[in-house]
Structure 1
Amino acid sequence: MSEVSIIGGITADIEGHPHNRLIYGDSNPGKIAISYGGVGRNIVENLARLGTKADFISVAGDDLPGRGAVRELQDLGVGVEHVRLLPEENTAVYMSILNLVGDMELAMCNMDVLERISIAFLEETSEHLKKAKVVGIDTNLTEDTLEYVTRQLKDTPIFLDPVSVAKAERARGVIGRFHTVKPNRMEAETISGLSILSEQDLKEAARWFIGQGVQRVFITLGGGGVFYMDDKDEGLIRPEPIEIASTTGAGDAFSAAVIYGILKEFGIGKTARLGMAAAAIAMEAKSAVNNQMSMDRLRQKLNGEVL
């Protein structure tokens, strides 16, 4: 039986790395990589590489990228019996272009198939989900589906990754049902309705989430680190200088580490450090998930801290 169940998206990721400064309105020479992604899929792969028994609940097209993504997760030991491949749909695609320093400059996505993660679909998995120790969700789910699954799992710690500013609003009405949320600054602004321009603003936004019923909040700040808060502790962790291959997938690695921290009942400060270490490892690779992710690597990053 899996310890963690993740509900979320599978995508085919297409990522462009320019050789020189990007010129808009022109064809830019560079390298193009194709891999599997999706916030939920990336989280569950990271968990599997950390030795966690996890399964995935999602939909994809019954096409080459969909079948390949499922096979790759299966080879890693992820439970994929609840991933449905739909013959009438195409697998979701996320296409991004990075700048010279490895940050995302522009992206486009077609996630229509993920709307098929419906209430009817999740009803088939409800008893399975209730057996998980922790459930992770991304906001590729619709508002109605988020309402349904959080109501059904009211006795289970649920982690939320808001995915994007455009989709973060979907979670606002049920945000207090989540045990832990991990928005970035802009997603936190969208959900809370508060402007975040300073460290004091960070604290006020985090208090808003706690006031709604969230037990733990991690507001990620990109190169600025992460601010964390629960009802007992708060703090701001700045990242160590590292050589970055790509920032794509760093947030997903952070999310996986936070879920691991919930599972192991770590304190929020230790969980935040774990998340930062996982994000740093993720950024060492150009792929959305670093295939070198492991507990040994995390321990090295954390100078041997017991995990």
Structure 2
Amino acid sequence: MSKEIDILCIGSVLWDVIGRTPRSMAVGHDVPGRITRLPGGVAMNIAMALVREGLTPALLTVLGQDSEGRELARAALEMGMVVDLVTWSEELPTDQYMAIEAENGLVAAIADAHSLERAGDTILAPMADGRLGAISTPYSGVIALDGNLTESLLSRISDNPLFSNADLRIAPASPGKANRLVPLLHHPKATIYVNRIEAGLICDKKFSTALAAAEGLRALGARRVLVTDGGEAMAEASPDGVRTAIPPKVTVNRVTGAGDTFMAAHIAAELRGQSGNFALEAALGITAAYISETDT
């Protein structure tokens, strides 16, 4: 290992191509704006936010042995991440995501992210071959896990002894993949990070508040959940009880990566020894700063 790691980030690492405009948009609109190409993917977004918090994450993912994959690995390394555990593929291309964001929010997005699903559990080899752990000595650190893994793989992880001792922090890749997290709700050390809409999809029920959504997930068997709701009050529910916190009011200039930023900031706050509302408010403040940033 090139350096000691603080947390594993397992899942999607790809290139984000994001078009942003300060104007409102609908289907068929053609407006001026800016287009950026940046490292992205849920696992990568979380890792980048963790680096900003002074932590060293290691990536468990698959990258193609193409120019895009090599460039992405170099970018991760330069940011301070560990890439020694990345699975390299000669057959699979490096994934990418394209989105259009406007003043009225996310207009459209396409995820060309098939390589991670096709790679399957090969990306988890370091968990079993001694580099991070083994069946007899499972990894006991913090893991940030994203829902871009296949439903069958996430289901296997839920009762895999290699993950039995891990502090497992889990987020869906998108509302459409939220149901993939259902098997992980019952993991004895899992913390689930979702928004109100994703919570409703998991519970097959509409919730009017994050608090109701958090209580719904707990009733479904989740050990600990954190539910956000845009600029409205968010909620945390766990065996210790239920708490809420209100995000700072800011002008929203970007939305892609906001949930990942909140999750990473909350993890970092707890690793620094903060807890309860102190950790929630720290994470909400960092997320507010992130979404209010403008492109330069």
Matched-pair identity in %: 26
Contact 2:196 2:213 in 1 (8 A): no
Deviations along 1:142-188, one digit per CA (max 9) or x if unpaired, are 12221333322112110001121211111112311152111111111
Match of 2:19 among 16, 40, 52: 16
Q: CA 1:21–1:171 in structure 2 vs 1: closer, same or farther (change >3 Å)? A: closer
Q: CA 1:120–1:18 in structure 2 vs 1: closer, same or farther (change >3 Å)? A: closer
- The whole-number CA distance in structure 2 between the counterparts of 1:73 and 1:132 is 24
- The whole-number CA distance in structure 2 between the counterparts of 1:69 and 1:135 is 21
Structure 1 partner of 2:265: 257
Match of 1:52 among 38, 51, 55: 55
- The whole-number CA distance in structure 1 between the counterparts of 2:65 and 2:23 is 37
Counterpart AA for 1:250 = A
Contact 1:230 1:268 in 2 (8 A): no
Runs of 4+ in 1 over 4 A off after TM superposition: none
Deviations along 1:92-123, one digit per CA (max 9) or x if unpaired, are 1211111125x212111111011134224313
Match of 1:172 among 159, 182, 197: 182
Q: CA 1:86–1:230 in structure 2 vs 1: closer, same or farther (change >3 Å)? A: same
- The whole-number CA distance in structure 1 between the counterparts of 2:56 and 2:6 is 5
Q: For residue 66 of structure 1, report the CA deviation from its aligned partner.
A: 1.8
Structure 2 partner of 1:216: 224
Aligned alpha-carbon RMSD (Å): 2.3
Q: CA 1:264–1:131 in structure 2 vs 1: closer, same or farther (change >3 Å)? A: farther
Q: For residue 225 of structure 1, report the CA deviation from its aligned partner.
A: 4.2
Structure 2 partner of 1:155: 165
Q: Which runs of 5+ in 1 are unaligned?
A: 291-307
The yes-or-no answer on 1:135 pairing with 2:138 is: no
Contact 1:59 1:116 in 2 (8 A): no
- The whole-number CA distance in structure 1 between the counterparts of 2:56 and 2:83 is 12
- Which residues in structure 2 correspond to 1:117-136 (within 5 Å)? 117-126=119-128, 127=130, 128=132, 130-136=138-144
- The whole-number CA distance in structure 2 between the counterparts of 1:20 and 1:52 is 36
DSSP 3-state at the match of 1:81: coil
Structure 2 partner of 1:79: 82
Q: CA 1:232–1:286 in structure 2 vs 1: closer, same or farther (change >3 Å)? A: same
Counterpart AA for 1:186 = I
Structure 2 partner of 1:240: 248
The yes-or-no answer on 1:107 pairing with 2:118 is: no
DSSP 3-state at the match of 2:153: helix
Counterpart AA for 2:204 = G
Q: Name which of structure 1's ranges 49-58 and 62-71 shifts more when overlaid on structure 2.
A: 62-71
- The whole-number CA distance in structure 1 between the counterparts of 2:140 and 2:6 is 5
Structure 2 partner of 1:196: 207
Deviations along 1:65-111, one digit per CA (max 9) or x if unpaired, are 3222211111122111111232322221211111125x212111111
- Which residues in structure 2 correspond to 1:25-64 (within 5 Å)? 25-64=28-67
Q: Which runs of 5+ in 2 are unaligned?
A: none
- The whole-number CA distance in structure 2 between the counterparts of 1:28 and 1:248 is 19
DSSP 3-state at the match of 2:87: strand
Deviations along 1:17-43, one digit per CA (max 9) or x if unpaired, are 236432522433322111110010010
Contact 1:49 1:76 in 2 (8 A): no
The yes-or-no answer on 1:207 pairing with 2:218 is: no
Structure 2 partner of 1:273: 281
Count of matched residue positions in the alignment of Structure 1 and Structure 2: 284
- Which residues in structure 2 correspond to 1:275-290 (within 5 Å)? 275-286=283-294
- The whole-number CA distance in structure 2 between the counterparts of 1:81 and 1:285 is 32
DSSP 3-state at the match of 2:286: helix
Question: How does the TM-score come out when normalised to structure 1?
Answer: 0.84
- The whole-number CA distance in structure 1 between the counterparts of 2:283 and 2:81 is 21
- The whole-number CA distance in structure 1 between the counterparts of 2:77 and 2:213 is 39
Contact 1:225 1:276 in 2 (8 A): no
The yes-or-no answer on 1:185 pairing with 2:196 is: yes
Contact 2:61 2:123 in 1 (8 A): no
Structure 1 partner of 2:239: 231
- The whole-number CA distance in structure 2 between the counterparts of 1:262 and 1:132 is 16
Question: How does the TM-score come out when normalised to structure 2?
Answer: 0.87
Q: For residue 286 of structure 1, report the CA deviation from its aligned partner.
A: 4.6
DSSP 3-state at the match of 2:253: coil
Contact 1:19 1:31 in 2 (8 A): no
Q: CA 1:24–1:203 in structure 2 vs 1: closer, same or farther (change >3 Å)? A: closer
DSSP 3-state at the match of 1:141: coil
Contact 1:16 1:30 in 2 (8 A): yes
Structure 2 partner of 1:295: none
Counterpart AA for 1:226 = M
